[in-house]
Chain A
Amino acid sequence: MKAMHLTEIEIQDYVIDAKSNHGFSHHIESCESCKNKVVQYQMLFKEIKNSPAPIFDFNLNEAVLKQLPVNEPIQVKRVFTNYLPVLVSIILLLLPLYFYRNNLLSVVKQTPAGILYMGIIIALIVTVYQSVGLSKKHHKQMNALNIMDGLQQ
Chain B
Amino acid sequence: MNSETENYPEDRSLVSKVLGGDNHAFGIVIKNTEGLVAMIVFKMIPNAYDRKDIAQDIYLKAFNRLSGFRFQCKLSTWIGQIAYNTCLHYLEKKKLVLIGKEEDDGERPDAWYNKLSAALTNDTEIILFRKELSGILQEETEKLPAVYKTLISLYHQQELSYDEINQITGLPAGTVKNYLFRARKLLKENILAKYKKEDL
Contact B92 A151 (CB under 8 A): yes
A71 contacts the other chain (Cβ, under 8 Å)?
Answer: yes
Q: What is the total of A-B residue contacts with beta carbons within 8 Å? A: 120
Chain B 90-129, CB within 8 Å of chain A: the 1/0 string? 0010000000000000000010110010000000000000
Contact B31 A44 (CB under 8 A): no
Contact B38 A55 (CB under 8 A): yes
Interface of A is mostly: helix
Interface centre among B38, B113, B138, B185 (most CB of A within 10 A): B113
Give the residue name and chain of the A residue nearest to B169 (CB). A150
Instruction: Count residues of chain B with CB under 8 A from any CB of chain A.
Output: 56
Residues of A near B63 (CB, < 8 A) are 64, 68
Q: Which A-B residue pairs are the 4 nearest by beta carbons? A: A153-B85, A54-B42, A48-B156, A73-B21
**Closest Cβ–Cβ distance, residue B125 to chain A (whole Å):** 14
B193 contacts the other chain (Cβ, under 8 Å)?
Answer: no
Instruction: Count residues of chain A with CB under 8 A from any CB of chain B.
Output: 39
Contact A73 B56 (CB under 8 A): no
A75 contacts the other chain (Cβ, under 8 Å)?
Answer: yes
Give the residue name and chain of the A residue nearest to B30 (CB). A61
Contact A74 B157 (CB under 8 A): no
Give the residue name and chain of the B residue nearest to A49 (CB). B156
Contact B60 A67 (CB under 8 A): yes
Q: Report which B residues bind A (CB closer than 8 A).
A: 18-23, 26-27, 30-31, 34-35, 38-39, 41-43, 51-52, 55-56, 59-61, 63, 66-67, 82, 85-86, 88-89, 92, 110, 112-113, 116, 130, 133-134, 137-138, 141, 152-153, 156-157, 159, 170, 181, 184-185, 187-188, 191-192
Residues of B near A49 (CB, < 8 A) are 156-157, 159
Kindly state the separation between the CA atoms of A53 and B35 in the bound complex, as whole angstroms.
8
Contact B116 A64 (CB under 8 A): no
Contact of B187 among A44, A60, A67 (CB under 8 A): A44
